[in-house]
Structure 1
């Protein structure tokens, strides 16, 4: 299977955002445009961000997805530095 770098970037943005905002829908166009607007060229740039910066990035992606109708209408009750995990 072959995956191009731009697909990896979009998937990573989605996965990080979904960690903080469960229930978002994958929107390839919005994620791609967001990455392009930020000048993200490789997935590693996102992966290597410290946790607080990943949380901030997730909030920004969530806002962009909400504007496009790909995010749930309700804001989750999660602090930006707090991960959402499924109950065990």
Structure 2
């Protein structure tokens, strides 16, 4: 996996979009679930299945609708995870 971008910071009840480039660096076609995991108490919020040929890559967008942040501001980790790789970044929800 390469590249992980979000539209953070976002406001309450807005859609967080997470864009990742998923790569198959192997010599054979492969298929894998790609999960968007949110928060300090991690929970899967979106999951897509990706099939790629040998040495292929594809851009994928995963989404999550934010809630109301406590105290008007919340920062938490997100993880994009495949069977073989994961990337993480902190995101912000603020009024």
The bucket for the TM-score relative to the shorter chain is under 0.3
Larger Rg: 2
As a proportion of its length, which structure holds more strand? 2
TM-score (norm 2): 0.24
As a proportion of its length, which structure holds more helix? 1
TM-score (norm 1): 0.25
Bigger RCO of structures 1 and 2 (CA < 8 A, at least 6 apart): 1
